[in-house]
Structure 1
Amino acid sequence: MNTLVEARRPGLRSLITLIGCEAKMVMRDTAGLVVPLCLPLLIMLTSASSASRTPVDNGRTALDVYVLPLVFTMVIAIIGIINMPSFLAYYRRSGILRRLGVTPASPAMVLAAQAVVSVLQALVGTTAALVVAFLAFGANPPANRGTALGVVALAMAAMYSAGMIVAAVAPTPNSAVAIGLVAFFILGALGGMFGGRDSLPEPLAEVGGWLPFGAAVEALSSAWAGAAVPAANLIGLGATIVVAAVVAGLLFRWE
């Protein structure tokens, strides 16, 4: 008598194991580990001293309202748009995703594990910046902490959704890094990374406020100052999540 054995999908334990493997891969990638953690921190250090002595509003300084939101957004964007897509492009090129497709393990588990590791890396980067700002420069916490946490979560989802488009179209890890860098600098330039959106022509500044980088910076700035977050920022982040997820889903190939 033939016995039919049904293959079972791996459970939570397998996902945790895969997350551990992904974390080791990230830690072995020196540039991918150091750049998103240290570059934003270095940028903060160059301006934190003077910004911490410049009062803005509601007991907050320029360090709180302008510098830290920018640093947080940079950490999230570098990891979501540059780092994560390069790993997924490597897995596709090396055939890992294709081989997983014929096993009980779904390739989607790799995506989930990489997303979890990316979020943890972003949390390490933002926490490091926050600790340095608190201890060395007397920074203040956000006036609306719950709102700030919600904006960070939205920003992560938006940046990772945009990064999935990069992963979908990049044929190799190097091309993923190149495309991600271009996207990062375009979004950053329009979002005020090089001197604030006020220095841009009005049409570009308006567009930058709707794109994920500028929307995240402005929304975090508002939360830090205790002001209401502009609806345009939330709509921009939400639209990025939906549109980028749909586009990435249509374009993404496992091999």
Structure 2
Amino acid sequence: MVQAEARMVTRDPANVIIPLAVPVLLLVMNGLSLENPDEELRSGVTVMDYHAVPVVLALVVTMIAVMNFPGYLATYRKTKVLRRLAVTPASPAMVLVAQIVVSFLQMLFGIAIALGIALQFFDTALPDDVLVAVLVLLALCLTMYSVGMIVASVAPTPNAAVAMGLIGFFGMAALGGMFGPMENLPERLAEVGSWLPFGAAVEAFQSTWVGETVAWENWASLGVTTVLGVAVASALFRWE
């Protein structure tokens, strides 16, 4: 099942290339546009490390989980694939798990590409606390998958899933630092952005880069969003 889902994903070049290319493009743009990307905020941690790399990591996860992932499930529902599978040993839940596995591998590949470019060409430092950074990444994946499941649950068609995913993605990312540090936003918007899961993840990654304790508000945002997402998706999701 995982192999079949991987084959389906690779047959759509846009859904493979865009989530990998856009974060890299944003990384390069930040490297070129930041006034002093090599300025050290703390020993060994530059402006590039602190502001650009956490945003890029959050972008990879969010684009795949909120934009790509729901579209496949909506397509399977519209084409009656899930209904047909419901009467076979290969249940619709197996499709869901297989799709999550494939998209998660795609996330890891995208993160590896982005970090590789950052390390090779921008002399980016690894997080001071790598273990906590990995935990933040896993928490972000769970959160964004739960948001993606909400989109898949309420979207009547694949096009609707794409549109809703785009709105959710840009709404969270714009307030979470995609177009510049959150502190550059008006105070109220910055506060809203920091409570949304994208902004909370960016702040959490920033804390791991400088060796600070991740704020409880960041964990709370990711945790509450995950619980709400799972609850809403469980109540609204239909296989057909």
How many Å separate the matches in 1 of 2:42 and 2:140? 24
Aligned to 1:27: 10
SS in 1 for 2:133: helix
How much has 1:83 moved relative to structure 2? 0.1
How much has 1:52 moved relative to structure 2? 4.1
How many Å separate the matches in 1 of 2:158 and 2:43? 45
Which deviations, in whole Å up to 9, do the C-alpha atoms of 1:5-26 show, x marking residues without a partner?
xxxxxxxxxxxxx111111111
Q: Which of 58, 63, 69 matches 1:84?
A: 69
> Residue type matched to 1:61 in 2?
T
Contact 1:163 1:180 in 2 (8 A): yes
Aligned to 1:8: none
Gapped runs of 5+ residues in structure 1?
Answer: 1-17
How much has 1:47 moved relative to structure 2? 2.0
How many Å separate the matches in 1 of 2:102 and 2:112? 15
How many Å separate the matches in 2 of 1:99 and 1:230? 46
Normalising by structure 2, we get a TM-score of: 0.96
> Residue type matched to 2:46 in 1?
T
How many Å separate the matches in 2 of 1:189 and 1:130? 22
The sequence identity of aligned pairs, in percent, is: 49
Which deviations, in whole Å up to 9, do the C-alpha atoms of 1:116-155 show, x marking residues without a partner?
1111101000110111111112111110000000000000
SS in 2 for 1:138: coil
- 126 and 229 in structure 1: CA distance in 2 versus 1, 3 angstrom threshold: same
Aligned to 1:135: 120
How many Å separate the matches in 1 of 2:210 and 2:150? 33
Q: Which of 221, 236, 239 matches 1:251?
A: 236
Aligned to 2:24: 41
Q: Which of 60, 74, 86 matches 1:75?
A: 60
How many Å separate the matches in 2 of 1:104 and 1:250? 24
Which deviations, in whole Å up to 9, do the C-alpha atoms of 1:65-87 show, x marking residues without a partner?
11110000001000000000000
Larger Rg over CA atoms: 1
How many Å separate the matches in 1 of 2:77 and 2:83? 7
Aligned to 1:125: 110
Q: How many residues align?
A: 238
SS in 2 for 1:56: strand
> Residue type matched to 1:35 in 2?
I
Gapped runs of 5+ residues in structure 2?
Answer: none
Aligned to 2:51: 66
> Residue type matched to 2:12 in 1?
D
How much has 1:45 moved relative to structure 2? 0.8
How many Å separate the matches in 2 of 1:95 and 1:161? 23
Q: Which of 134, 150, 156 matches 1:171?
A: 156
Normalising by structure 1, we get a TM-score of: 0.91
Q: Which of 185, 203, 206 matches 1:200?
A: 185
2:223 is the alignment partner of 1:238: yes
SS in 1 for 2:66: helix
- Two-structure CA RMSD over aligned residues (Å): 1.1
How many Å separate the matches in 1 of 2:235 and 2:22? 33
